[in-house]
Amino acid sequence: MKNKLIFFLFAVMLVANLYIFLHREEYVFKKQFSYTDLYPRVSATAIKNTEKINDSTLRFNLLNPLPAPVKWYIVQHQKTDSQTAANPTLLLQKDICSYNVFSPVYKDSIRLRIEYISAKENGGTSFIGKYKSTECQITPQEIMGEDYTFDKINAVEQQQVADVLRDSIKINIALPSAKKVQQIFIYLHKKLFAQRGQPDAATLELNTFEQYKAALAGKKIWCGIYANIFTMFVVKAGIPCRFLEMKNDFGNIAGSTHEVSEYFCAEKTQWVAVDLMFNIIQTSNANGSILNTVEVKNTAAYDSSVKVLQVQGDSLVSNAFSKMELPFFDFYGRDKDLYLYNTTAAKFNTGIFKKIKNHITKTYWYGCYSDIRIVENLKFYIKQAAIILLIIFSLAMLIMLPKKLKQS
């Protein structure tokens, strides 16, 4: 009787796990982001000490360095450089200058004012004076910036994106982030804005680069394709950019959905909301502060003090936020949840071992920010319990089997 019960429970758990696996999208772990997760503010206390490498180069030895080299961005005035290192280094500029050093995968951001006088001008020994650091914004650990990936875009297509940036957009690498984004936005707006509409099934099956080519040929595209195309070009220009989705669901009924982009402006050390489909390069309030996506989402439709920067012909114009077309306000609003995606690449779930890991652990490829609800993970924990019970009854079956064979 006991053996039959164990066999029955094993069969029930096997069927339950099979059902869960077939409906696994409903049982994934859902990460809830706080506002601080999306837009963290940390004090620059990351430095253990500084080390002079040569007359004009200073290295930051960090309190908690990462085990492997990572990508660092170094912003000085309106110039942005990058390097891959465990501990970032600064090529110092003459006199007193401000430096902002951050990495998309490091928890702290560093901002310092440093005075530098070369050895030649200081009697044979260089002078380096360090001043106070200040609080600043950084990218969250989940976002990989320029490592954001797109489904099936091969090396040839990547090179074609780079060619468009160089030959058609004529991107100026020396420009600050916001100016580069404006160049890209104006080009894409002129080429693609008239294609707003419902894409056909064939267009939806294409990868991001192929969708860009299809739109150039006159195919209709919608918000998610606009957001991915914009992100693809901005990331290729060396600027961290991410893909976000706004939606509100009512139980099992899907509500309105809208996808947008957000890029990291190194000079202002903040994320900036962009909506290519609705022709919004940036949104700013009465004080001139530029808004991120959550701030735009939560801005009242009737707030006439908020302005949007838009393309009009060959120029950029500032218009009242309250004058945006009505469908815009159907998609934006405090009632919408904001989903932040780390990638749109299908390869995230390729490989049997990665699939197993993603299925049984708290692995997530997107996070949800909400002003109105708590993300519920009951189904995920039911899945965990079902897996554990299946393992227990499987072990019981294995223990019983030799005994059964011996008796027979």
Residue pLDDT, tens place only, 307-361: 999 999 888 999 999 999 988 998 998 889 998 876 554 444 556 777 777 778 8
pLDDT digits (tens, 9 = 90+) for 215-251: 999 999 999 999 999 999 998 888 888 889 998 765 5
Do residues 263 and 289 touch, judged by C-beta distance below 8 A? no
Q: Are strands 47-54 and 79-85 parallel, antiparallel or unpaired?
A: unpaired
CA dihedral 21, 26, 29, 31 (to 10 degrees): 160
Among candidates 354, 336, 325, 251, which has minimal Cα distance to 293?
Answer: 336
DSSP structure string for 221-270: B-HHHHHHHHHHHHHHTT--EEEEEEEEEETTEEEEEEEEEEEEETTTTE
Pairing of strands 366-369, 31-32: parallel
Range name among 62-66, 199-203, 350-354 with the lowest pLDDT average: 350-354
SS3 351: coil
Instruction: Measure Cα distances from 183 to 108, 229, 372 in Å.
Output: 30, 14, 37
The model carries a pTM of 0.70
Residue 35 has pLDDT above 90, yes or no: no
What residue type is 207 in one-letter code? Answer: N
Instruction: Give the whole-angstrom CA distance, residue 274 versus residue 262.
Output: 6
What is the pLDDT at residue 45?
56
Across the range 295-302, mean pLDDT stands at: 92
Name which of 177-186, 268-277, 339-348 the model is least confident about.
Answer: 339-348
Residue positions counted in the chain? 408
pLDDT at 193 (0 to 100): 95
Beta strands in 25-154 (DSSP E): 31-32, 41-42, 47-54, 57-62, 70-76, 79-85, 89-91, 95-102, 110-117, 127-130, 136-137
